[in-house]
Structure 1
């Protein structure tokens, strides 16, 4: 395995213009014999597209104009817009303010804000008595906390946590479920988590589960209460659970009251949702890590809350208005058009994370994004923030990237949704230089049940494809 070094690119403005013209004109290219795209191994009914470029030329192209769900590859579009807009960097700021007898906590949607950070802010009120109220100001965002097209059946899990200005601990809470010998179950919730979880789950054998068609189900309520029902096969260890907070404001209120009790702070008034007065005075401030650190975490962990709150903040900052999914995705379009001369055209963007099933982007547009990042990486330093095949992030355990010849030779971003298996990135030769830029979108992937021990079709397809990019 080689050590990956990112090399400066010699891509000129003229070659970039030529590339854009070629992509926009819809020129058909015959796939090079050196690029392996064994579509025949994929199940009937799939809809797939692959584009490969080398040295500024299209080496392979198939279904380049097809609008497909980008899934989490959309996070690279969000990351590029953020880097282009905040050229000098950006940090989310959460502030404690005083206004007369009242105090305000002004939130900016920092997706990395932790309970410890909040404790540090509130420590400035330790052992004091607040004679007025404590206001929670999340006015930097408005509109929905969930994007259009987010499926209802995942709203209770953490990767669909609400994209709220009032964000704490990723708007994600933890619990665990233990199976009992008598066929029942018990739930454990850490004492510091201000939520309630009830279980009517039955512990069963594997055979009983198969015959009853019984699954583990989750129901949620706006007061941050959760009910587990259905069946769970007997386990030796408790099943770890992570739930998306349903009411970020209620979660914050209860957490703050617990911190006040811990720090000996007395509140005579109430905790209310209200915008801060213009004449409020800053008492203390917490800043997030720099933008590059945030983007690296977002890309490595494929964190949806980071992507969507960054998107909303882009909307707020670009337009000088409240941030929302609508203003944020509009800002992404405008930023890419102004700064990168990339027109997203008839692409459909409902969020910045790729979680919405309504998102659509053509591989041709995505290739323009990838080529721009490559050509300007000396200024952007964005490729360095992407995970590496078989080594880290979401690519560490990707089945098709465990081969010794593929591991460490690709940097990029994966994306998965129901029936979608996407990957965009750059392959590297043994000298650590980019050899190919590629976009792989596989949609409508619904294989028949495979025999035990048989390698999935998507893994076989990707192995052959990635290997051909490296050889």
Structure 2
């Protein structure tokens, strides 16, 4: 492999047979790297090959959302009355909390509604299709970062719990009383040596009605181990919460709570989410999958004037970006907007086109300023390869990881904190030897990233601006 690298900072160019930091990675790893400034390509390796973008895809979702919905867009959840019935019209608000529903019923109570003689209908007509995208791994569907993308979204579709280890070798699972889920448990407490000998891990199985079962082994813990379960049946979970809220506000009710999408009533109370710009910032800084996927489905609903889904949402993202930027993403394979699906594929070249478009239009888009900053904010604050100078504070980017892929895409900053170069790092099929992953020595990924990010700072011109 011959790679052309331009050292603009010292004023000359030369060829090298390979980019040395790649040698730090395990044999079999695939790598795509692209570094560009406004006038030249500083580093280019396998930029036309397809790679899983993982959560760097959220940059593209953020761009499409800002272009189509605008920074002031808000999700709206509405409480309505239709004769003797109550309708809750959900919008897929990924930030809707129990407290927000509580406020809606409080307003209803204050307006004199003390009894509901009919039924409560949950209207989730804004979305359709799968709540989990094709390619989401089955073994992580019980944990919160793969919570279902649904119109009826409450509390991030995530439930908090914990598990305690006992001295007699047993364990105890704890679920707060207000959480309407059931957790059974037959996990045993073991030493680290026994766990390694048995090749035994903590495992989670889910079943109907938001039932969860923990099994396997857990190394003895001094403190309880926090658990976060993804809600499996969003309608069942929300219905249970609603019953609790009705009792709290002393609103009598003996009817049914069920889904119905062909009914509309007179608005009683409305809850609005934070504006889109705030949601996108949270999505990028904390890499929130639910926000990304509910925004994706919302884009599908808005762009195609029909219920949103993963299918029409991902296609809407491509169409919105093409109509605004002429960037053609037709060769990219998107199964969701979060990057969680293992089916997602795109090239570093196309990702870099997105980065350059955002850079050129940052004054109106405001995407770069809300990306995590190396060693300082968001998901990059504690990234080991970015915590020390000269890398700390010099990159603004989005990370992404999914089974064997470790990615980064963003900007190198100048002394004034402004972008001077774009870069894309796609690493796939990264599987270090077991002894390397278990040892306390520096991981191959850390060695590569530290060298690469230091080179980014050296290779990039001191002052650049895209016109």
TM-score (norm 1): 0.92
Q: Structure 1 residues 329 and 99 mapped into 2: Cα distance closer, same or farther (>3 Å)?
A: same
- What is aligned with 2:153? 167
- Give the match for residue 316 of structure 2: 331
Corresponding residue number in structure 2 for 1:78: 61
Structure 1 residue 464 corresponds to structure 2 residue 451 = yes
Give the equivalent residue in structure 1 for 2:397.
412
Q: Which residue of 1 aligns with 2:351?
A: 366
Cα deviation digits, residues 353-373 of structure 1 (max 9, x gap) = 000000001000000000000
Tell me the SS of whatever aligns to 1:426.
Answer: strand
- 1:117 and 1:286 in contact (8 A); partners too: yes
Aligned to 1:200: 186
Q: How does 1:246-325 map to 2 (within 5 A)?
A: 246-278=232-264, 280-325=265-310
Counting only pairs closer than 5 Å after superposition, residues 120-269 of structure 1 correspond to structure 2 as 120-126=103-109, 128-269=114-255
Q: Is the 8 A contact 1:69 1:358 kept in 2?
A: yes
Asked if the contact 1:125–1:265 (Cα under 8 Å) also holds between the matched residues in 2, the reply is no
CA distances 1:365-386 after superposition (whole Å, capped 9, x unpaired): 0000000000100010111111
What residue ranges of structure 1 are gaps of 5+ in the alignment?
Answer: 1-27
RMSD: 1.5
Q: Which runs of 5+ in 2 are unaligned?
A: 10-18, 459-467
Residue 92 (structure 1) aligned to one of 68, 75, 92: 75
Query: Distance between the aligned counterparts of 2:59 and 2:167, measured in 1?
Result: 48
CA distance in 1, matches of 2:215, 2:123: 36
CA contact (8 A) 1:435 1:470 kept: no
In the TM superposition, residue 173 of structure 1 has moved relative to its aligned partner by 0.2
Displacement of 1:276 in angstroms is 4.8
1:42 aligns with 2:29: no
Whole-angstrom distance in 2 between the partners of 1:40 and 1:207: 33
Q: Which 10-residue stretch deviates more, 169-178 or 448-457?
A: 448-457
Equivalents in 2 of 1:194, 1:160: separation in Å?
19
Equivalent pair of 2:71/2:276 in contact (CA under 8 Å): no
- How big is the shift at 1:119? 0.3
Shift in CA distance, 37/369, structure 1 to aligned 2, threshold 3 Å: farther
Paired residues for 1:303-452 under 5 Å:
303-448=288-433, 449-450=435-436, 452=439
1:30-82 per-position Cα deviation (integer Å, ceiling 9, x unaligned) = 22257976111111111101100112321211101010000000000000000
* The one of 91, 110, 133 aligned to 1:108: 91
Structure 1 equivalent of residue 5 of structure 2: 31
2:38 paired with 1:52: no
Looking at structure 2, the residues matched to 33 and 445 of structure 1 have their Cα atoms a distance apart, in angstroms, of 28
| Cα pair 1:29 1:59 within 8 Å, conserved | no
- Given candidates 50, 68, 71, the residue that maps to 2:51 is 68
When normalised by structure 2's length, the TM-score is 0.93
| Alpha-carbon distance between aligned partners in 1 of 2:58 and 2:26, rounded to the nearest angstrom | 27
Query: Aligned equivalents of 1:100 and 1:431: distance in 2?
Result: 61
Once residues 127 and 49 of structure 2 are traced to their aligned partners in structure 1, the CA distance between those partners, rounded to angstroms, is 33
